[in-house]
Amino acid sequence: MKLISVIPFLALLLLAGCVSPGDETSLEGTRPNIILVITDDQGMGDLSCLGNTILETPHLDRLYARSTRFTDFHVSSTCSPTRAALMSGRHPFDVGVTHTVYQRERLAPAVITLPETLKTAGYATGLFGKWHLGDEEAYLPQNRGFDEVLMHGAGGIGQYRWGDFKANSENRYFDNTLLHNDTVVKTKGYCTDIFFDAALAWIKKQNETGQPFFAYISTNEPHNPLIAPESDKKRFLELGFAERTAARFGMIENIDDNIGKLMDALEANGMRENTLVIFMTDNGANSGRLRYQNGEPKPSFNAGMRGRKASSYEGGTRVPSFWSLPGRISAGVDIDTLTNHYDVYTTLAEFAGTEVPEGPLQPNGLSMIPLLENSKATWPERTRFVHRGRWGFEPASGQMSREDARYVSAAVRTERWRLVFDLVDGEPTAHLADIQNDPGERTNLAEQHPEVVKELKQAFDEWWETTESYLVNEGLPHIPSEKQPFPMRYQKQLKAEGIPLWEPIEI
C-alpha cells in the first residue's frame, strides 16, 4: 500500500549500508541500546522524505534512508492513548486511558511498564520531555520504571489548566519550569533543545558505564501553541507564510536539527552500530491549513490521507515508523504489513532478551522482529479497533455518555478495509474504504459491501463490550488548576528551598 513517493535523491542513500535479511543472526536478545523518539502532533505529511516540498528535514531524511520503515503503522488519534499503548503493550482502553485530561490519562497502576520490563534485562532508562500518563506521585515516570526524568506536566508545556506549572503558561516553550527527577527546576533555552541536550548528556554517561540503555525522547513539538525560535521561523516568514504556519514548520525543522545532533553524537562516541534508533509520532497532524500573510489558507500536505489528529480516518492514526540499527536491520526497506503502537513493547522486550511480564494487564501486542528480519515474513492478520474516547466532556459530542458515544469517531481496520463510524443526526453512519486500492478513503463502499460492514461492525461491538471493566479512571472529578500535583509541588518546594536553575551535564 503506497500513499507517497520517495524523493528521488534518496535512492542513492538507500544503497548505502543496506543489509539483506538473513545476513545476520536473529535480532532477539541482541541487547542494543534503544532510543525511541516520538514527536507530538506531527503527521505523515510533515517530512520532506515523505513528500512535503516546503519542509527541509535532511536529518530525518537520512534516518529514513537508513531505516526499515513500517509504512502501515498505526497509533491512537490523540496523545495519551498512544503513549499508554507504548508503555503497556495493550490497547489504551485496556489500561484505563480514554482521554487526555480529567484524570482519564492516568496509566492503570496494574501495568508493568516497558521501562520496568527493560530494567529486568539490565537496561538504564531515561525519559526526556512529555509523559502525559498521570502527574500524581504514584503515576509519575520516576515511579513507573524510569531512572532519569526531565519532564513537563500535563499534556503540554503551559497547560496550567490541566496541571503543568503555572510559570510555563506565561512563557511557553522557552526557559521552562520542569521536573528533574524529584526536583522542580528552571531551565534556559528552547524546550526541545533542552530535552535533546539532557538526553544526550545522559546517553553519554550510560555509554561510559557500558550499561545498555533505553532513552525515551518525547517532544512537545509541534503541539499547540505554535511557537518556534526566530531562527527556525525566518525562512518560512520570508516565503510569505503567516506566523502560525511559519512557527509550526519551524518547530518541525527544529526537531530535525536535534535529530541531526543526536545522530552525530552517536557516531562521534562510537555508539551508532549498537544503538537501535526509532522515530515515530503520536498521532496525525494538528493542522490542516497553510496560512499565508496575504491570501486565503490552502490545504496542507497530508501524504494523500483523509483526516488528521483526533480523526478515526487514516490521517488520524497512520504515522511514520522508522527503525534503524546499522548492520542488523536493513536500510531502505518498506514493510506494508499492518502494525500498531502496542506492538512496540513486545518487540523491544525481545530485542532486550527479556520475557514479557505476566500479570492482569500483560502486553498482548506482537513482536515486529520477524518483519524486521524478513520483510516478507508470515504475519497474522488482525482486526484493529479505534475509538477517540473523550465521551462526557466534549461539546461536539453533546456531553454524551460512553454508551451513547459508541460510534463517535470510531473505526475498524484490517489489512484491506477501514470502516469508520460517526453519528449524523443521532444515527450511526458507516464509511467503508478499500485501503489497498483507495488509501485516501475517497469512495464509500458501504452500500456495495454490506456484508463487510456487518462483519466489521459486529467485531467492533464485541470488542466494545469487553472494554468497560478496564476503564478504571471513569467518573473522577475535575481537579482545579491550583490543586493539581505539579503546581502544588512547585509551591511546596518554592517555600522550602526555592527553584534552582537546571544545569545539564556537559555533552
User: Any idea which fold 384-470 has?
Assistant: Arylsulfatase, C-terminal domain (3.30.1120)
Cβ neighbors of 438 (< 8 A, separation 6 or more) are none
The pLDDT value recorded for residue 393 is 66
Q: What confidence category does residue 6 fall into, taking pLDDT thresholds of 50, 70 and 90?
A: very low
Any idea which of 3-7, 96-100, 287-291, 491-495 has the lowest mean pLDDT?
3-7
Mean pLDDT, to the nearest integer, of 225-243? 97
Question: pLDDT digits over 68-90, tens only?
Answer: 999 999 999 999 999 999 999 99
Class of domain 30-373 (CATH, top level): alpha beta
393 or 74, greater pLDDT: 74
Q: Give domain limits for the chain.
A: 30-373, 384-470
Instruction: Output the pLDDT for position 155.
Output: 97
Q: What is the DSSP string of 331-387?
A: SSEEE-S-EEGGGHHHHHHHHHT-PPPPSTT---PPP-HHHHH-TT-------EEEE
- What average pLDDT does this structure show over 96-124? 97
Looking at the predicted structure, is the pLDDT value of residue 180 above 60? yes
Q: What is the pLDDT of residues 323-347, one digit of tens each?
A: 999 999 999 999 999 999 999 999 9
Rounded to 5, what percent of the chain is helix, strand, coil?
35, 15, 50
Confidence band of 507 (pLDDT split at 50, 70, 90): low
Residue with the three cell numbers 506494508: 336
**What does the alpha-carbon distance between residue 91 and residue 112 come to, in Å, rounded to a whole number?**
14
Q: Does the pLDDT at position 431 exceed 60? A: yes
Rounded to two decimals, what is the model's pTM? 0.94
Q: Residues 422-436: what's their mean pLDDT?
A: 90
User: Cell numbers at residue 323, please?
Assistant: 527503525
Residue in 479, 482, 485, 483 with CA at minimum distance from that of residue 140: 485
Residue 499 grid cell? 527553584
d(CA 62, CA 68): 12
Hey, what's the cell of 182? 524529584
Whole-number percent of the chain with pLDDT over 90: 88
Mean pLDDT along residues 244-249: 97
Q: Is the pLDDT of residue 258 over 80?
A: yes
pLDDT for the residue 428: 83
| Residue 129 φ then ψ, to 5° | 125, -120
What's the rounded Cα separation, in Å, for the pair 342 and 113? 12
Residue 24 has pLDDT above 80, yes or no: no
What would the mean pLDDT of 251-278 be, rounded to a whole number? 98
Tens of pLDDT, residue by residue over 445-461, are 999 999 999 999 999 99
